[in-house]
Amino acid sequence: MTVSPPRVFVVDDDPSVRMALARLIGAAGHTVETFGSAREFLENGCHLEAGCVVLDLRMPDLDGLELLDLLRKDGSVMPVIFMTGFGDIPTSVRAMKAGAVDFLPKPVADDALLQAIGAALEADSRARHARSGQEDIRRRFEGLTPREREVFRLVVAGRLNKQVARELGVAEKTVKVHRARVMEKMGVRRVAQLVQLAVRLDLDNEPATPSDLPLRDAPAPPAASLWPHTPVALPRDATGPQRHAEL
């Protein structure tokens, strides 16, 4: 499968600015694509691809902050670099809190813009690599059988084989087999590595399915009452009628 190289997407309603930025960014060796509005960029679907966005803050119809909000709601984590000729501190703070990686005043210095683009592309590459690794770990975990998941959880919780065997109600030899399969499927050789994967999977905050829950001995039935509230006939004596008492 061919992976497309990362691109720099320029979104600005000023044609002369788009042309100048495209020339500058392209001359630096980056692949560039320009858009005249935020809606045009969204409709193209580029926000789900690898790269970064150089985005004008103030645009008609849909401004830069509104576009960034829509990107995040759509699941895009593409780095966004804001440019504006009307910047102020409150606006820049809002942009950074919304997830922008940089906020540059117009006219933008060439070196500052190229440096920001380089950092954004590097951050995007790292984030995508991390997500890819996380997805691979999740696929491996989901490939475990229900019993192997039980063993996985107990092993990373620090249980010894004999403790796992007792908790699951199986032979220790069976636990060793499951444990070896878990290590093989998860692609690790040591328990410490398995613990690291468990941390990345965030198993502590993930509700276990019924098949993931360790088997435990059933609770003992409640003891019978020593004092049943049952009428007991007392022996008839010679002087009075038969009496009943509740013991």
Instruction: Specify whether 48 is located in the same domain as 105.
Output: yes
Rounded Cα distance between 131 and 123, Å, is: 12
- The first and second tokens of residue 14, run together, are 């000023």
Rounded Cα distance between 31 and 28, Å, is: 9
Region class of 182: left (phi > 0), else alpha (psi between -120 and 50), else beta: alpha
Instruction: Specify whether 98 is located in the same domain as 190.
Output: no
Q: Does residue 216 carry a pLDDT above 70?
A: no
Where does residue 150 rank: exposed (0-12), middle (13-18), buried (19+ CB within 10 A)?
buried
* Edge-to-edge order in the sheet of strand 80-84: 31-35, 7-11, 51-56, 80-84, 102-105
Task: Identify the CATH number of the domain in which residue 35 sits.
Answer: 3.40.50.2300
- The first and second tokens of residue 92, run together, are 């820049």
Of the pLDDT bands very low, low, confident and very high (cuts 50, 70, 90), residue 201 is confident
CA-nearest of 45, 44, 68 to 56 is: 68
Rounded Cα distance between 10 and 152, Å, is: 47
Q: Are 76 and 58 in contact (CB under 8 A)?
A: no
Q: Does residue 30 carry a pLDDT above 90?
A: yes
Instruction: Specify whether 37 is located in the same domain as 74.
Output: yes
**What range defines the domain where residue 182 resides?**
143-212
Answer yes or no: is 12 within a domain: yes
What's the confidence (pLDDT) of residue 221?
41
What's the confidence (pLDDT) of residue 219?
41
Instruction: Specify whether 204 is located in the same domain as 123.
Output: no
Q: What is the pLDDT of residues 87-120, one digit of tens each?
A: 677 888 888 887 789 999 888 899 999 999 999 9
- Three-state SS for 81? strand
Show which of 108, 131, 154 is a domain's final residue: 131
Answer yes or no: is 83 within a domain: yes
Q: Are 166 and 156 in contact (CB under 8 A)?
A: no
Q: What share of the chain is helix, strand, coil (3-state, %, to 5)?
A: 50, 15, 35
Most confident of 69-78, 173-182, 212-221: 173-182
- The first and second tokens of residue 77, run together, are 């984590």
